[in-house]
Structure 1
Amino acid sequence: MEIDDLTPAERRVWRAFAKGTEVDFRDGSDDWGPERTVRATVLRALLLNGPQEQGETAALKIRGARITGALELRYATVDSVVHLTHCRFDEAPDLIGARLRYVSMRDSDMPALSVTRARIDGSLRLTRCRFAGPVRLDGAQIAGALFLEEAEATDADTDRPALHLHQVVVDDDLCARGLRARGLIRLDGATVAGSLDLEDAELSNPDANVLEADALEVGANLLGRRLSTRGRIDLRGARIPGRVDLLHARLSNPGGTALRASSCVIGELWLRRGPRVEGMLNLRRAEINQLSLEPEMLPDQVRLLDLTYTFLTPHVPAEDRLPMLERDGQGFDPHAYEQLTAAYRRTGDDQSARVVQLAKQRRRRSTLPWHGRLWGHLQDAAVGYGFRPLRAAVWLLSLLAVGSIAYAGHRPPPLKADEAPEFNPVFYTLDLLLPVISFGQEGAFAPRGWYQTLSYVLVVTGWILATTVVAGVTRTVSRQ
C-alpha cells in the first residue's frame, strides 16, 4: 500500500507507526467524520508489513478513531504492540489464530470480537469495551493477564453465549471486575494461573446458565464480592485451591439451581453477608477445606450428598445448622450429619455435636418401619438415644419414688411369712426396676390387684431403660 493512497487521517497513523508514537483523534465531540476515520485494511498493512525505522520500536497506537471495514488478522503473526483505544469499529475484528505481542482495545465499541485460538505473548486489555455481539476467546493462550473490567457484552441473541472463554489459558489473572454481561459466559475447561476476579459484576441469563465453568482450574482465588447473577452458576468439577469469595453476593435463579459447585475441590467457600440465595444450592460431592456459610443465606433447597469439609464457620448453635441438612430433598443422608458433628468437635463444642447426633437418629427413625419407629421413640424418650443419659436417672428416680410411696402405703404380703426378710419399699422397688441386681425383696413378696399391675409396669420399664442405656453407652463408646 502506497502512502499516496491514504487519507490525511491514515497518513498520520502511517507516519507515527515506525516510531511507535500515539495518534489521538479525540476532539471532544461525538462526530466520527472522515478526519477521524481509518480503514481496517490500512491497519492490517501496517501490522503485517509496516515501515520500520532503525533504532525505533514500531507500534500501532491510536485513540478515538473510527475504524471502517473488518480488521482481519486471521492466523497472522504481528510483532508490534497494538493499542486501539477509545475507538469505534464498524465491523468485528477477526484475530482468530493470530500470534500477537500485546493488544489493548480498551474503551472501544465493537459489534463483536473473535480471538479464538490466538496466542498473545503479553496481555489482552478489553477494559470498558462495549460489545453488541459475541466475544470469542475460546482456546486462546494469553501469556499475561486478560482484562475485562467494566466491559459490557449485551448480545441481542440470548440463545448464544455472550462471552466464549472455554478452554482459554491465562497465565496471569482474569480481571472482570464490574463486568456487565447479558447471556451465557462459557468458562468450561478454562485455566487461569492467577485469580478470576468477578467482583461487582452483573451477569444475567434468566432461567438458564449464566456462568458455565465446568472443570475450571484457577491457581489462586475466584473473587465474587457483590457479584449479582440472574441465572445458574455452574462450577461442577472446578478446582480452586484458594477461596471462592461470595461475600455480599446476590445469587438468583428462582425455580432452578442458583449455584452448582458439585464435585469441586475448593480451599475456602465464603457465602456470607448477602441476601438469601434464590434457587437451589448444590454442593454434592464437593471437597472444601473451610466452608464459611451463614444459615440466613441458605435457600429452601440444598444438595449436600457426600459433601466433605474440614472447618465450618461462623460458629453458631447446632439448632441453626440442622435445617440445612433437613432441606436436602434427596432423603436421609447420614454422612451430612457426621460432617457437621465432626466440624463441631474440631472446635471443642461437644454439646452441639451431641445435638447433631440426636437429630441424626431422629431423622433416621422416620425411614424405619413402624416397629423400628416405636422402638426409636422409646429410646428417644428414655435417654435421647444415649445422648441424654441423665434422662435415665430422672426416669429411675421418678419410678423409684412412685413405687416406694405406693408400696410403703400398702405392703405386699410375703410368700412365706417365716422366711421373708423385713420389707423395704425402696429396695423392693429397686428389685423390680433393676433387672440385673437383686436385693432379695422381689422374690419374697407377692403384691395383689393394682399393686401387682404396678410391679409389672416397673419390671417392663426397668428392662426398657436398661436396654436403652446399654445401647446409648455402646454408641458413645463406639464414637470414642
Structure 2
Amino acid sequence: MEIDELTAAERRMWRAFARGAFVDFRETPDEDAADGACWGPERTVRAEVVRTLLLNGPQQDGEVASLDLAGARVTGFLDLQHATVDHPVRLRHCHFDDAPRLYAARLRELNLSESVLPGLVAHAMRVDGVLRMTRSRFRGPVRLGGVEITGSLYMESAEVAAPDSAEPVLQLNQAALGADLWAPGLRTHGQTRLSGASIAGSVRLSEARLANPGLPAVDAEVLGVEGDVVLRQADVRGWIGLRGARITGRLDLSYARLSHRGDGAALRMSSATVGELWLRRGGPVDGALNLRRAQLEVLFLEPETVPDRVDLNGLTYTTLAPHEPAERRLPMLDRDSDGYVPHAYEQLTAAYRRIGDDHAARLVQLAKQRRHRRTLPWYGRLWGHVQDATVGYGFRPLRAAGWLLSLLATGSVAYALHHPAPLKADEAPPFNPVFYTLDLLLPVISFGQEPAYAPKGWYQALAYALVLTGWILATTVVAGVSRTVNRQ
C-alpha cells in the first residue's frame, strides 16, 4: 500500500507509527465514542490500512513502533486472524463499525479502553502482556475463549450486551491469565462464561452488574483461581455456577445481591474447593443455595443471608463465622431440600466444639435427634418423645434426676400414708416408704423392701407405674450415656 493512497487521517496515523507517537483525533477529551458513526473522514481510518500497518508498517531506527490512536473511527473489517503483531496496539476512545477478528493472533499488548465495538472475536488469542478493555462498550459477544494472557485482563466498568444473541455475551472459557481479571463495575447483559478458566491472580468483580434473569449469569464450572474472587456489592440476576471450582483464597460475596427466580439455586457450588466463602451483609439470597460436597476452610455465613432453601449434603468446613448461638444456626439445617441430612448437624456440632462451645454443640445434637424423629414410623416417634421428655436424648441428664426425685417424692408420700401389708409379718424388715419407692424405681439395686411387702388396690397400681417408669428412665439414661460416649 502506497502512502499516496491514504487519506489525510491515515497518513497521520502511518507517520506516527514508526516513532510510536500518540495520535489523538478527539475534539474534546470527554466526547463519547458511541457517536463515532457520525465522525467525518478527517478522523476515519480503514481497517485494511490498520492491518497493513501492523503487519508491515514502517520502522525507524532507535524507535519502538506502535499503533497508538484515540478518537478514530475504524471502518471495515479488521482481520488479524493468525497474525503475529510485534508492536503494541492501542485503539482507545475509538468507534468500530465491525467487530475485529483476532482469532489465534499473537500480540504484544492490546488496549481497547473506552472504545465502542459491535463485538470482538479473539478465540485462542495470545497476548504477551496485558489486555485492556477498561470502560469499553460492546454491542455483541466478546469471544475470548481459550485466550492466553501473560499479564492481566482489565475490564473495569466495561459493558457487554448482546440482546439478540443466544450465546454467552462474555466468553472466557478455558482462558489462561497470568495475573488478575480486574473488572470492578463490569456490566453484562447475558451469560458470562468462565468455565475451565485458569487465573494465577485474583478475580475482582466488585460492584459488577451481571444480568441474565432466569438463566446462568456466571457459568464458572471448574474455574481455577489462585487468589480471591471478589464480588462485593455486586448485583447478580441469574444463577452463579461454580461446580467443581477451585479458589485458593476467598470467595467474597459481602453486600452482594444474588437473585435467581428460575429452577435451581442462585449460587451453585457443588464439589467446589474454596479457602473462604463470605456471605454477609447482602440480605437473604433470592433463590436456593447449593453447597453440596463443597470443601471450605472458613464459612463466613450470617444467618440473615440464608435463603428459604439450602443444599448442604456433604458440605465440609473447618471454621464457621461469625460465632452465633445454636438457635440462630439450626433453622438453616431444617431448610435442606434433601430433608434430614445428618452430616450437616455433625459439621455444625464439630464447628462449635472446635471453639469450645459445648453447650451449643449439645443443642445441635439434640436438634439432630428431634429432626431424625420426624423420619421414623409412629412407634419410633413415640419412643423418641419419651427419650426427649425424660432425658433429652441423653443431652439433659439432670432432667432424669428431676423425674426420679419427683417420682420418689410421690411414692414416698403415698406409701408413708398407707403402708402396704407385709407378705410375712415375722420376716419382713421394718417398712421404709423412701427405700420401698427406690426399690420400685431402680431395676437393678434392691434394698429388700419391695419383695417383702404387697400393696393392694390403687397402691398396687402405683407400684406397677413406678416399676415401669423406672425401667423407662433407666433405659433412656443408658441410651443417652452410650450415645455420648460413642461421640467422644
Answer yes or no: same fold by TM over 0.5: yes
Give ranges in structure 2 of 5+ residues lacking alignment. Answer: none
Spell out, residue by residue over 1:114-147, the C-alpha distance to the aligned partner (whole angstroms, 9 max, x if none).
1110111000000100000000000110111001
Look up the SS of the partner of 1:72 in the other structure: coil
Structure 1 residue aligned with 2:327, among 319, 329, 342? 319
Q: CA deviation at 1:97?
A: 0.6
C-alpha distance in 1, partners of 2:203/2:392?
Answer: 48
Q: Which aligned pairs between 1:47-86 and structure 2 lie closer than 5 A?
A: 47-86=54-93
Look up the SS of the partner of 1:278 in the other structure: coil
Q: CA deviation at 1:403?
A: 0.4
Where does residue 170 of structure 1 map in the other structure?
177
Q: Which aligned pairs between 1:48-127 and structure 2 lie closer than 5 A?
A: 48-127=55-134
C-alpha distance in 2, partners of 1:288/1:70?
Answer: 48
Where does residue 146 of structure 2 map in the other structure?
139
C-alpha distance in 1, partners of 2:305/2:197?
Answer: 29
Look up the SS of the partner of 1:305 in the other structure: coil
Structure 2 residue aligned with 1:32, among 17, 33, 39? 39
The one-letter amino acid of 2:487's match is R
C-alpha distance in 2, partners of 1:165/1:182?
Answer: 15
- Whether the aligned pair in 1 keeps the contact of 2:207 and 2:234 (CA below 8 Å) is yes
C-alpha distance in 1, partners of 2:485/2:432?
Answer: 36
C-alpha distance in 2, partners of 1:24/1:326?
Answer: 63
Q: CA deviation at 1:331?
A: 1.9
Look up the SS of the partner of 1:270 in the other structure: strand
Q: CA deviation at 1:261?
A: 0.6
Spell out, residue by residue over 1:195-252, the C-alpha distance to the aligned partner (whole angstroms, 9 max, x if none).
0111100000011111000100001110110011110100000000100000000000
Spell out, residue by residue over 1:142-162, the C-alpha distance to the aligned partner (whole angstroms, 9 max, x if none).
111001110001111252211
Where does residue 201 of structure 2 map in the other structure?
194
Where does residue 249 of structure 1 map in the other structure?
256
Residue identity over aligned pairs, in percent, reads: 64
Give ranges in structure 1 of 5+ residues lacking alignment. Answer: none
C-alpha distance in 2, partners of 1:477/1:92?
Answer: 70
- Whether the aligned pair in 2 keeps the contact of 1:179 and 1:198 (CA below 8 Å) is yes
The one-letter amino acid of 2:15's match is R
- Whether the aligned pair in 1 keeps the contact of 2:227 and 2:250 (CA below 8 Å) is yes
Look up the SS of the partner of 1:337 in the other structure: helix
The one-letter amino acid of 1:241's match is T
Where does residue 455 of structure 1 map in the other structure?
463
C-alpha distance in 1, partners of 2:179/2:319?
Answer: 30
Residue 193 of structure 2 is aligned to residue 183 of structure 1: no
The one-letter amino acid of 2:75's match is T
C-alpha distance in 2, partners of 1:92/1:335?
Answer: 52
Where does residue 380 of structure 1 map in the other structure?
388
Where does residue 166 of structure 2 map in the other structure?
159
Look up the SS of the partner of 1:269 in the other structure: strand
Look up the SS of the partner of 2:58 in the other structure: coil
C-alpha distance in 2, partners of 1:186/1:346?
Answer: 38
The one-letter amino acid of 1:243's match is R
C-alpha distance in 2, partners of 1:324/1:245?
Answer: 20
Q: CA deviation at 1:419?
A: 1.1
Deviates further, 286-295 or 247-256: 247-256
- Whether the aligned pair in 2 keeps the contact of 1:158 and 1:205 (CA below 8 Å) is no
C-alpha distance in 2, partners of 1:195/1:81?
Answer: 25
Where does residue 475 of structure 2 map in the other structure?
467
Deviates further, 48-57 or 20-29: 20-29
Where does residue 16 of structure 1 map in the other structure?
16
Look up the SS of the partner of 1:41 in the other structure: helix
- Whether the aligned pair in 2 keeps the contact of 1:219 and 1:240 (CA below 8 Å) is yes
Look up the SS of the partner of 2:336 in the other structure: coil
The one-letter amino acid of 1:426's match is V
- Whether the aligned pair in 1 keeps the contact of 2:140 and 2:165 (CA below 8 Å) is no
C-alpha distance in 2, partners of 1:84/1:302?
Answer: 47
The one-letter amino acid of 1:27's match is E
Where does residue 295 of structure 2 map in the other structure?
287
C-alpha distance in 2, partners of 1:164/1:453?
Answer: 80
- Whether the aligned pair in 2 keeps the contact of 1:318 and 1:352 (CA below 8 Å) is yes
Q: CA deviation at 1:71?
A: 1.1
Spell out, residue by residue over 1:84-125, the C-alpha distance to the aligned partner (whole angstroms, 9 max, x if none).
000000111111110100010100000000111011100000
Residue 351 of structure 2 is aligned to residue 343 of structure 1: yes
C-alpha distance in 2, partners of 1:246/1:211?
Answer: 14
- Whether the aligned pair in 1 keeps the contact of 2:160 and 2:188 (CA below 8 Å) is yes
C-alpha distance in 2, partners of 1:453/1:329?
Answer: 48
Residue 292 of structure 2 is aligned to residue 309 of structure 1: no
Where does residue 7 of structure 1 map in the other structure?
7
Look up the SS of the partner of 1:435 in the other structure: coil
C-alpha distance in 2, partners of 1:426/1:393?
Answer: 16
- Whether the aligned pair in 2 keeps the contact of 1:21 and 1:59 (CA below 8 Å) is yes
The one-letter amino acid of 1:79's match is D
Q: CA RMSD in A?
A: 0.9
C-alpha distance in 1, partners of 2:175/2:484?
Answer: 53
C-alpha distance in 2, partners of 1:442/1:180?
Answer: 83
The one-letter amino acid of 1:135's match is V
Question: Given the two structures, how large is their TM-score scaled by the length of structure 1?
Answer: 0.99
- Whether the aligned pair in 2 keeps the contact of 1:158 and 1:182 (CA below 8 Å) is no
Look up the SS of the partner of 1:18 in the other structure: helix
Spell out, residue by residue over 1:246-279, the C-alpha distance to the aligned partner (whole angstroms, 9 max, x if none).
0000000024321001100000000001111000
Structure 2 residue aligned with 1:215, among 214, 219, 222? 222
The one-letter amino acid of 1:86's match is H
C-alpha distance in 2, partners of 1:357/1:369?
Answer: 21
- Whether the aligned pair in 1 keeps the contact of 2:120 and 2:141 (CA below 8 Å) is yes
Deviates further, 262-271 or 358-367: 358-367
Q: CA deviation at 1:439?
A: 0.7
C-alpha distance in 2, partners of 1:313/1:395?
Answer: 38
